[in-house]
Structure 1
Amino acid sequence: MAAPLDDKTRAIITACVPALEGHGLAITTEMYRRLLANPAIRDLFNISHQKDGEQPRALALAVLAYARHINDPGVLGAMVERIAEKHVGLNILPEHYPYVAEALLGAIGHVLGDAATPEILDAWGKAYWFLADILIGREKEIYEAHEAAPGGWVGWRPFRVARRVRESETVTSFELVPTDGQPVMRHQPGQYLSFRLDVPGHGSQRRNYSISSAPDDSVYRISVRRIEGGVVSDWLHASVDEGTELLVSAPAGDFVLEQAPAITLLSAGVGLTPLMSMLDTLMGAGNAPALHYIHATRTPQTEAFGSHVRTLAAGGRIRHDVFYSRETPADDVVDAGTTQHAGHLTPEWLKAQVQPGGVYYICGPDAFMRSMVATLKEAGVPGKAIRFEFFGSAADAELAA
């Protein structure tokens, strides 16, 4: 366990909050510039999140939250868990942490100039290693759990694409089996796989993709939306066929299904992928809860897994609503247990669906999640009953909080 920070260090970090509010993004941007100059470290990152500024923004929010709560870091437990799970998925090891310390302290000095006194840099060095030791300890526990689990592993394991299926005009699924023919670790519904990929013309790439299938001992499925200009998604759709080998790390992530008497799954676009794993898991349970699945998409052509969900709804196993924002049907068309809606999913409609005591799992674009989370809270749903997953870095201030 990391030794507690002394009073002087905590006071200095607290005094730095205004500077972080004004210069935090500049500091984290400079930090990543320094880190990514090292090829051995650069390969650990999703470079697309650097190009759009998402990762520096996410880290700036995390550093600011840490400084604000330096006197009671326990309240940041959920953030620490999410970071640790992400690090394990990417196979971050203790020996990588000194590189980050050097880059962070160097960036603070570079951005703040003479204001970054030796006393301030010393305090941030202590604060960094305090948090780093907590993360290293938690990551060690997760690695050990992965190694001990039936079918588990640590590091990058070769998998083969056993099957690919076109789910919609934009989403394709890839079923993955290990090349060694041995069992795989059963994931928790909602978790993701991390990939180490060698994309021709773009070199080494790292990506996370949610597992869209129910837990299984032999196979995983990911479902990937093709993004125009997306380095990895374009390559997966255009070039990765059955038989292609990919390097994969063990399932990770803290957005996981927990039992409750009533559950609502709420997704938009490709945000449905982790919820498909939850849905199929719940359908396979002997005593499934009352389940409502709400999905928003552009058109019937972009609706992945639509026929599968409709089959469940037609059998009376779930309540299902789907919203089409473009090329919409007539409003409120009921078709064998599925209600189709024209237009966007609105806060007013969602408030009318709130189930007392229900738990809500949400995944989709940040703006969608921000709207849904705010709506549920306004409707009286307690924060602990609202769970959501980020695709990429947590770069939205409201959601990260």
Structure 2
Amino acid sequence: MALPLDDRTRGIIRACVPALEAHGLAITTEMYRRLLANPAIRDLFNLSHQQNGEQPRALALAVLAYARNIDNPGVMAGAVERIAEKHVGLNILPEHYPYVADALLGAIAQVLGDAATPDIMDAWGRAYWFLADILIGREEQIYVAHAAAPGGWTGWRPFSVRRRTVESGTVTSFELVPTDGRPVMRHAAGQSLGFRLDVPGHGPARRNYSISSAPGADAYRISVRRIDGGVVSNWLHDSVREGTVLQVSAPAGDFTLGHPDTAPVVFLSAGVGLTPFMSMLGVVATGKTPIRYIHATRSTETEAFGIPVRDLAAKGRLDADIFYTRQAPQGVPPVPNVTTHAGRITPEWLSGQVDPAATYYVCGPDGFMRDMVTALRAASVPDGHIRYAFFGPADDTALMG
């Protein structure tokens, strides 16, 4: 268990908030430059998040939030849980943490220069390892639970692609079964799988993909969107076929479906953000829970899982609103309980649809997420009834407050 930070250390960290506001992004950018120069740690990261600046920006926000809440770390409990679950999905281990400590402290010293006094460097070293020890402890608990679960495992387990299905012009699904023929751990709807991949011509890579199948005991399904210029997504679409073996970690993640009951749920997504909701629908659609499904996609060409959603709507199990942002369908026969719209899901439209009794699950691109969560809060939906998940490198701390 991590020992509490002393008053002196916490006071120094608090005093660093203005410096982090001014130089936080420069610090995290330099930190990642140092990490990615080290082959022992580089392959743990999604390099696409470095190219567009997402990962340094997300970490800068997280470090700033940590410093602002250094006197009340309990505020960060939700963020710590999400980070721990993501680390477990990528098989991050205790031996990886010293590399990050060296890179972070080295970056602080370089960016702040003479302002990085010995007292400041000592305080940040203590603050880093305080948080790291909490994460390491929680991650160990998750690993132990995975090992003990029926069908569970730790580390990487080989899975073979049993079936490959084209869901739309941009999304393909891969159904995976373990090569050892043994059962798999039953995932919680909304969780993801981690992958250790070796992409020919590019080398090792690690990725997380949401599980898009209902919880079961023999297989998982992931559904991957082809990204322009995306090394891993294009390789999966172009080269991975039935029989291809992939290295997979056990299901992880805290963006999960609450205990199903009779209270309404609303699934609110854009693009490939619908994938965890396919797993959740596999659970709630078999019961009596009222379901609202709201989804935005560019066109019918990019719309994944349109047929099963419409089948559930036709059976009266859900009400669906489908938004086509680029090209609305023409001459398509109407389906009961399905309403189609031209354009985007706007905060104004969403505010007029709020059900105060419902729990809202939100997933999609960052800008969409911010708009939707902000609109729900403005409509007085309690934070406890809003659950969201980012596909990017970390949570946007602007949504935490």
Q: Please give the TM-score of this superposition, normalised by the length of structure 1.
A: 0.97
Aligned to 1:52: 52
**Following TM superposition, by how much is the alpha carbon of 1:122 offset from its aligned partner in structure 2, in angstroms?**
0.3
| Aligned residues of 1:262 and 1:289 also touching (Cα < 8 A) | yes
Question: Quick one: distance in 2 between partners of 1:231 and 1:314?
Answer: 39
Question: Within 2, Cα distance between the matches of 1:232 and 1:206?
Answer: 9
**Alignment correspondent of 1:212:** 212
Q: What is the alpha-carbon distance in structure 1 between the residues aligned to residue 7 and residue 193 of structure 2?
A: 41
C-alpha deviation, 1:359, in angstroms: 0.3
Q: Which residue matches 1:201?
A: 201
Contact 1:328/1:341 (<8 A) preserved? yes
Q: 1:332, 1:340 within 8 Å by CA — same for their partners in 2? A: no
**C-alpha contact (below 8 Å) 2:266/2:361 kept by paired residues:** yes
Identity %: 70
Q: Name the CA shift for 1:125/1:232 in 2 (closer, same or farther; >3 Å).
A: same
The residue identity in structure 1 corresponding to 2:233 is S
Q: Which amino acid aligns with 1:233?
A: S
User: How is 1:1-400 mapped onto 2 (pairs within 5 angstroms)?
Assistant: 1-258=1-258, 259-260=260-261, 261-284=263-286, 287-329=287-329, 334-394=334-394, 396-399=396-399
- 2:266 partner letter: T
Deviations, residues 29-61 of structure 1 (Å, cap 9, x unaligned) = 111111122111111111111121111111111
SS in 1 for 2:301: helix
Residue-by-residue CA offset, 1:196-216 (whole Å, 9 max, x unaligned): 000011100111110001001
Equivalent-residue separation in structure 2 for 1:400 and 1:19 (angstroms): 22
What 5-or-longer segments of structure 2 have no aligned partner? Answer: none
Out of 173-182 and 329-338, give the one that drifted further: 329-338
Structure 2 counterpart of 1:106, one-letter code: G
Contact 1:333 / 1:341 at 8 angstroms: preserved in 2?
no
SS at match of 2:374: helix
Q: Which moved more, 1:274-283 or 1:154-163?
A: 274-283
* Contact residue 296 and residue 323 of structure 1 kept, 8 A: yes
Within 2, Cα distance between the matches of 1:353 and 1:359?
13
AA partner of residue 247 (structure 2): L
Query: What's the C-alpha RMSD, in Å, of the aligned pairs?
Result: 1.5
Query: In the aligned structure 1, how far is the partner of 2:12 from the partner of 2:215?
Result: 47
Q: SS at 1:82's partner residue? A: helix
SS at match of 1:144: helix
Q: How far apart are the structure 2 equivalents of 1:201 and 1:74?
A: 44
Superposed displacement of residue 192, structure 1: 0.6
Q: Retained in 1: the 8 A contact 2:163–2:174?
A: yes
Structure 2 CA distance for partners of 1:132 and 1:47, relative to 1, 3 Å: same
2:240 counterpart letter in structure 1? V
Q: CA deviation at 1:398?
A: 2.2
**How much has 1:329 moved relative to structure 2?**
3.9
Change (3 A) 1:76 1:102: same
- Once residues 125 and 331 of structure 2 are traced to their aligned partners in structure 1, the CA distance between those partners, rounded to angstroms, is 58
Instruction: Report how far residue 75 of structure 1 moved.
Output: 0.6
TM-score (norm 2): 0.97
CA distance in 2 between partners of 1:332 and 1:386 (Å)? 33
Query: CA–CA distance in 1 between the matches of 2:394 and 2:91?
Result: 19
Cα deviation code 1:237-282 (max 9, x no counterpart): 0000000000000011110000351100001111000111111111
Q: Give the whole-Å Cα distance in 2 for the aligned partners of 1:67 and 1:344.
A: 37
Q: For residue 322 of structure 1, what is the amino acid of its counterpart?
A: I
Indicate if the aligned counterparts of 1:57 and 1:395 stay in contact, CA closer than 8 A. no
| TM-superposed deviation, 1:331 | 12
Give secondary structure in 1 for the equivalent of 2:216.
coil
Q: Which runs of 4+ in 1 moved over 6 A?
A: 330-333
Q: CA deviation at 1:348?
A: 2.3
Question: In 2, distance between residues paired with 1:201 and 1:180?
Answer: 29
Distance in 2 (CA, whole Å) between partners of 1:212 and 1:391 is 14
Paired residue type of 2:268: L
Local SS of the residue matching 1:250: coil
